[in-house]
Amino acid sequence: MERTNVNPESIFTLVSDAILVIDEQGFVVAANPASVKMIGCSTEELIGKVHFCSICTGMATSREEASCTDCFANKWNVPSFEMKIRTKGGSEYPVAASSTCLLTPSGKQVIVIMRDMSQQQKAEGERFQRQMINYVIQAQEEERKRVSRDLHDGVGQALYSILVGLKVLDQFHLEHDVKEQLENVWKLTTHALNEVKNMAVELRPSTLEDFGFLPTLRSYRKRYEQQYGIEMRLATKGHKRRYASIVETALYRICQEATINAAKYSGTSLIDIEMEDSDGTVMLTIRDYGQGFDPEQFLSQGSGLGLYGMKERAGLLGGTVAIHSVPGKGTTVQVIIPLTEKGEPRNVDPDTHSG
Ligand SMILES: Nc1ncnc2c1ncn2[C@@H]1O[C@H](COP(=O)(O)OP(=O)(O)O)[C@@H](O)[C@H]1O
Ligand SMILES: [Mg+2]
């Protein structure tokens, strides 16, 4: 790095903030190297030739129509405001600025100091988007929990009461036909009760909170094999432990999505699930041996909501989901989430998960 004595002139040339001096008519009369770089034209093209209004597209703090009436150039000093700058190349970006008015022998001049805020605004936007996705996922989980409880305690209990009533009726001396009819109703009610129980578990298995991901996956396997007639093999390596609830829920939901996709679209008769917890990461691999597909086609069109959702869930926890698929050979969905010793996600922005 070049060694320079700091003096007022060198500050003007060395600082990374853009500094412009504008005369009373609004023309640029001085520009430091950072402002030349920001606006994208040479010092010669700027000085005395460029009117500030031709590079300013409005102050963000003003209402659109009042933008020019509120202009900082008409005021004495404005310590902090935001505006948009249009570069020579035509692109626009936001800047944080301050202005200072000076009275010089040649008239009033305004010094404008500007700092490029596009990176910060982009990062802020992304953080806001992640927070929104997190809220939506959390709200969805809460809603599923509520519907699951209502199904179990409401419809489930009502059906159970009907079964008890039928049992009582059965103890009366009934004619053969009536008894047969009663048996049919009993069977139908038992079937409905089982359906409701399954739906409640499918929506949000209570074992996830009580016993964790692996035991839940084991009971999921049983239901899955029965429902779809597809064999599911489970293999585990490394530590067996509990994870933070957000991690266990994400693993379960990703597993559910990938295995249901395999059942719906791949035509496979076997699914392998491998879970490995070692070196501070949990890795879950779901493999089918079906017809395969092109994941990029769905992800780039934004149509694969299930695929997108898997990626979002892992991304929120600082992890990744990779989908590899080979036509005729099958599909592998691999989730990797870096974790702390306590089983909390290691790479998350704490703000994203506040609340
Ligand atoms: N394991 C798989 N095997 C074959 N095709 C798949 C598989 N998983 C997903 N797909 C294809 O990708 C598409 C998008 O999947 P997804 O995002 O889960 O949406 P959805 O399940 O709602 O259709 C599916 O419609 C299907 O065509
Ligand atoms: Mg799907």
Q: What is the pLDDT of residues 109-123, one digit of tens each?
A: 999 999 999 899 899
**Cβ neighbour number for residue 207 with a 10 Å cutoff:** 18
Is pLDDT above 60 for 64? no
Pick from 264, 265, 299, 326 the residue to mutate for probing ligand 1's pocket: most ligand atoms within 8 Å of its CB: 265
Query: What are 104's strand-pairing partners?
Result: 107
At 72, which amino acid appears? F
Q: How confident is the model at residue 143 (pLDDT cuts 50, 70, 90)?
A: very high
Ligand 1 pocket, 267 CB below 6 A? no
- Segment 333-337 shows an average pLDDT of 98
Considering only residues 251 and 137, tell me which one the structure prediction assigns the higher pLDDT. 251
What is the atom index within ligand 1 of the atom nearest the CA of 304?
17
Tell me the C-alpha to C-alpha distance, in Å, between residue 148 and each of 57, 143, 153, 180, 317: 53, 8, 9, 33, 25
Q: How confident is the model at residue 131 (pLDDT cuts 50, 70, 90)?
A: confident
Is pLDDT above 50 for 150? yes
Sheet holding 28-31, edge to edge: 28-31, 18-22, 107-116, 92-104, 77-86, 56-59
Tell me the average pLDDT of the chain.
89
What is the atom index within ligand 1 of the atom nearest the CA of 333?
1
Q: How far is the CA of 324 from the centre of ligand 1 (A)?
A: 12
pLDDT digits (tens, 9 = 90+) for 3-38: 656 777 788 888 999 999 999 888 999 999 999 999
pLDDT digits (tens, 9 = 90+) for 161-173: 999 999 999 898 8
Is pLDDT above 80 for 320? yes
Nearest CA to ligand 1 atom 20: 306
Q: How far is the CA of 303 from the centre of ligand 1 (A)?
A: 10
Ligand 1 pocket, 345 CB below 6 A? no
Please give the pLDDT value at position 236.
96
Please give the pLDDT value at position 104.
86
Ligand 1 pocket, 35 CB below 6 A? no
Ligand 1 pocket, 309 CB below 6 A? no
Ligand 1 pocket, 256 CB below 6 A? no
pTM of the model: 0.74
Please give the pLDDT value at position 62.
52
- Segment 293-314 shows an average pLDDT of 87
Ligand 1 pocket, 216 CB below 6 A? no
Nearest to 324 by CA among 292, 302, 298: 292
Pick from 254, 261, 266, 333 the residue to mutate for probing ligand 1's pocket: most ligand atoms within 8 Å of its CB: 261
User: How deeply is 323 buried, as exposed, middle or buried, from its count of CB atoms within 10 A (0-12, 13-18, 19+)?
Assistant: buried
Q: Both tokens of residue 355?
A: 């609340």
Q: How far is the CA of 123 from the centre of ligand 1 (A)?
A: 31
Ligand 1 pocket, 306 CB below 6 A? yes
Ligand 1 pocket, 332 CB below 6 A? no
**Cβ neighbour number for residue 249 with a 10 Å cutoff:** 22
Neighbour-count burial for 47-56, b at 16+ CB within 10 Å, e otherwise: beebebeebb
Please give the pLDDT value at position 130.
85
Is pLDDT above 90 for 146? yes
Is pLDDT above 60 for 208? yes
The answer to whether 28 touches 50, Cβ cutoff 8 Å, is yes
Sign of the alpha-carbon torsion through 308, 313, 314, 317: positive
Please, where are the H alpha helices in the chain? Answer: 8-14, 33-39, 43-46, 52-55, 118-150, 156-170, 176-203, 207-210, 213-228, 245-261, 295-301, 305-316
Is pLDDT above 60 for 68? yes
Is pLDDT above 50 for 355? no
Ligand 1 pocket, 271 CB below 6 A? no
Considering only residues 58 and 87, tell me which one the structure prediction assigns the higher pLDDT. 87
Please give the pLDDT value at position 315.
92
| Poorest-pLDDT segment among 84-93, 112-121, 331-340 | 84-93
Is pLDDT above 80 for 235? yes
Measured in residues, the chain has a length of 355
At 132, which amino acid appears? M
